[in-house]
């Protein structure tokens, strides 16, 4: 007991020194273990209500602990909850919270979770990923303003017991609750400080780390939390997350030892990395799809002939195997093959057609739609700033030119790009989805008619919605998967989007970093890592 108190006290001194600018002197043996992570884009927010990208999840997920959390292989293990029970009909999940506290010492209670879920679903707060909570009873109606927030199917039975009622059975719930939208927030801090609770010095967390500093467009610094219930087994003392959208520059920083890990690299650097940094680039399939969203509210794109033509002329094989160098599979479907229990088999109708024949068919369709050499279709394509995305955009532009489409390219920062997509301010837009849980529904729900935050193209199909609803209320696993496969076929037959590639991880990991395990969710929480200290 005395030993535990001593460790906690020492860590508290370190955290306080970091927050308030104090100096701590370490002997060589006491030097803090520090991890430097290249993390892609600049965070828009570290509030689970506002965050939307994987780059933000990497940071928030090192600080916040959901009911269940990721182990070293990104499988669900107990987090803020120590156990759970499920009712026989699968509609009520009861979680028992472990005794643990926020980083300011205030106990974490079931009310913090109720508060967080109501907060993100409250339409007044415009939570960007609120739809990920729609499995909760009445969540959709609350988010649409048709029911008050206290009608949401979550309740605190007591301080340590949380009850969640669902719209339908959700066997994947333990995986889903690991997503950032399911993280708790400190009710006492949010009520006291409002949006300012996320600032360094105000931010309190219930996980392994706490926010110490955020320098916009420079770095986010986290320090080990002395109040984390498993702090004795957390090895790394400080983490620095750097925005690294310029991936080529990031590789140079990695080579110089300034970064221990880098999330994403440019395809043009892959061969050099393989030859000069053997074993340090992790290219493995994971639950992720790259695609181009099509805005159905723009009249020319509401014509299925135009959408099919663009899909035909988009040469995904060339992009995946020649333009890029990540060993990725061209995508002709929505759901990645690695998804658990997925039967597969669906594909765009022209998958086996040679590319010259695809282009000929695309021209025919465009001519039927009223376009041709003398009446070309002008479209705008939104894309991100990374080198590979710029190369894909240029190739896409050339492909479209062959079928009477003049494609204007507009480049934006990643966070700005996703604002355009969510607000419908685009015609064609670069997009990607990283699976939050290992189930086909996590990809198919993107196309539900009332998924206002993530159905970027505003595609609507009542038959599709009915099939998804039927699948979600089907208990038998094989039957459920078969129904969802029918739904996927509708998306593909309607050319509702342009699938590009099923993605591989692209992480650079220094040999100094120990405990990194590549996995299908591409989640590596710092809690499980260590860094080899210099001798």
Residue with tokens 């240029």: 394
With H, G, I as helix, E, B as strand and everything else as coil, classify residue 276.
helix
The residue to which tokens 């702090």 are assigned: 231
* pLDDT > 50? residue 10: no
pLDDT level of residue 452 (50, 70, 90 thresholds): confident
471: pLDDT strictly greater than 70? yes
Does residue 424 have a pLDDT over 90?
Answer: yes
Q: What is the mean pLDDT of residues 218-244?
A: 97
Burial 269-287 (b: 16+ CB within 10 A, else e): bbeebeeebeebbbbebbb
Q: What percentage of residues in the chain have a pLDDT greater than 70?
A: 94
Which pairing describes strands 34-38 and 238-242: parallel, antiparallel, or unpaired? parallel
Q: What is the pLDDT of residues 494-507, one digit of tens each?
A: 999 999 999 999 99
Mean pLDDT of 338-365: 96
Q: Rounded CA gap, 248 and 254, in Å?
A: 10
- pLDDT band at residue 24 using 50, 70 and 90 as cut-offs: very low
Distances (CA, A) of 164 to 130, 198, 441: 16, 26, 20
Does the structure show a pLDDT above 90 at 19? no
Identify the pLDDT of residue 52.
82
Digit-coded pLDDT (tens) for 360-386: 999 999 999 999 999 999 999 999 998
**pLDDT number for residue 352:** 96
415 pLDDT exceeds 50? yes
Q: What is the model's pLDDT at position 114?
A: 98
> According to the model, what pLDDT value does residue 414 have?
87
Instruction: Look at residue 21 in the predicted model and tell me its pLDDT.
Output: 36
Mean pLDDT of 408-418: 92
What is the average per-residue pLDDT within 123-139? 93
Burial class (CB in 10 A: 0-12, 13-18, 19+), 12: middle
Cβ atoms < 10 Å from Cβ of 152: 23
What pLDDT was estimated at residue 271? 94
Q: Given the structure tokens 């028992």, which residue do they identify?
A: 96
Q: Does the pLDDT at position 13 exceed 60?
A: no
Residue 459 corresponds to which tokens in the numbers above?
């595609």
Lowest average pLDDT, out of 138-142, 333-337, 365-369, 413-417, goes to: 413-417
Using 50, 70 and 90 to split pLDDT, how confident is the model at 7? very low
Tens digit of each residue's pLDDT (9 = 90 or more) over 66-106:
999 999 999 999 999 999 999 999 999 999 999 999 999 99
Query: pLDDT for 178-225, tens place per residue?
Result: 999 999 999 999 999 999 999 999 999 999 999 999 999 999 999 999
Q: Which residues contact 165 (CB under 8 A, 6 or more apart)?
A: 91, 92, 136, 137, 153, 154
Q: What is the rounded CA–CA span in Å between residue 110 and residue 161?
A: 6
pLDDT band for position 276 (cuts 50, 70, 90): very high
Domain architecture of the chain: domains with CATH: 65-184 (3.90.76.10), 286-504 (3.10.105.10)
Span 347-364, average pLDDT: 98
Phi, psi of 207 (to 5 degrees): -110, -160
Mean pLDDT estimate for the chain: 92
pLDDT of residue 6: 31
Percent of the chain with pLDDT over 90: 88
As a whole number of angstroms, the distance between CA 361 and CA 349 comes to 12
Helices in 327-369 by DSSP H: which ranges?
355-368
Q: Reply yes or no on whether the pLDDT at 14 is more than 80.
A: no
Distance CA 45, CA 32 (A): 27
Confidence band, pLDDT 50/70/90 cuts, at residue 128: confident
Q: How would you classify residue 38: left for phi > 0, otherwise alpha for psi between -120 and 50, otherwise beta?
A: beta
Amino acid 535: pLDDT: 64
- Is 90 exceeded by the pLDDT of residue 234? yes
CA distance 208 to 236: 10
pLDDT of residue 30: 66
């Amino acid at each position: 007991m005395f030993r535990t108190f001593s460790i906690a006290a020492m860590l508290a001194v370190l955290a306080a020194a970091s927050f308030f600018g104090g100096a701590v002197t370490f002997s060589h043996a006491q030097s803090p273990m520090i991890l430097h992570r290249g993390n892609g884009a600049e965070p828009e927010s570290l509030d689970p209500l506002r965050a939307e990208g994987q780059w933000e999840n990497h940071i928030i997920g090192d600080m916040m602990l959901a009911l269940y959390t990721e182990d070293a292989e990104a499988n669900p293990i107990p987090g803020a909850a120590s156990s759970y029970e499920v009712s026989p009909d699968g509609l009520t999940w009861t979680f028992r919270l472990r005794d643990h506290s926020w980083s300011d010492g205030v106990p974490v209670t079931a009310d913090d979770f109720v508060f967080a879920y109501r907060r993100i679903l409250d339409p007044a707060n415009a939570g960007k990923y609120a739809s990920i909570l729609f499995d909760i009873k009445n969540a959709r109606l609350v988010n649409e303003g048709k029911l008050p927030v206290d009608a949401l199917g979550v309740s605190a039975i007591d301080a340590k017991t949380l009850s969640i009622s669902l719209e339908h059975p959700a066997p994947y719930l333990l995986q889903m609750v690991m997503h950032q939208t399911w993280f708790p927030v400190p009710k006492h801090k949010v009520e006291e400080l409002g949006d300012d609770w996320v600032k360094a010095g105000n931010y309190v967390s219930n996980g392994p780390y706490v926010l110490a500093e955020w320098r916009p467009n420079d770095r986010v610094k986290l320090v080990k939390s002395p109040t984390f219930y498993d702090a004795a087994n957390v090895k790394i003392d400080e983490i620095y997350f750097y925005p690294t959208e310029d991936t080529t520059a990031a590789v140079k920083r990695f080579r110089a030892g300034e970064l221990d890990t880098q999330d994403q690299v440019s395809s043009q650097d892959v061969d050099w990395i393989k030859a000069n940094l053997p074993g340090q680039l992790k290219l493995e399939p994971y639950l992720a799809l790259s695609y181009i969203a099509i805005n159905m509210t723009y009249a020319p794109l509401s014509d299925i002939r135009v959408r099919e033509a663009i899909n035909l002329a988009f040469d995904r094989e060339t992009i995946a195997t020649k333009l890029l160098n990540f060993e990725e599979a061209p995508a002709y479907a929505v759901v990645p093959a690695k998804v658990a229990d997925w039967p597969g088999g669906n594909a765009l109708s022209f998958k086996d057609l040679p590319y010259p024949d695809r282009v000929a068919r695309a021209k025919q369709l465009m001519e039927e739609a009223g376009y041709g050499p003398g009446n070309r279709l002008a479209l705008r394509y939104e894309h991100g700033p990374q080198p590979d995305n710029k190369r894909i955009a240029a190739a896409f532009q050339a492909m479209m030119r062959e079928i009477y489409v003049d494609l204007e390219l507009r480049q934006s920062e990643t966070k700005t790009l996703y604002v355009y997509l969510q607000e419908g301010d685009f015609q064609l837009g670069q997009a990607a989805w990283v699976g939050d849980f290992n189930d086909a529904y996590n990809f198919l729900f993107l196309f539900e008619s009332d998924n206002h935050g993530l159905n970027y193209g505003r595609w609507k199909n009542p038959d599709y919605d009915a099939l998804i609803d039927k699948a979600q209320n089907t208990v038998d696993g094989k039957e459920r998967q078969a129904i969802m496969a029918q739904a996927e076929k509708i998306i593909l037959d309607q050319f509702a989007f342009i699938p590009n590639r099923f993605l591989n991880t692209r992480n650079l990991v220094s040999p100094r970093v120990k405990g990194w395990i590549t996995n299908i969710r591409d989640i590596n929480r710092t809690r499980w890592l260590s860094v080899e200290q210099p001798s």
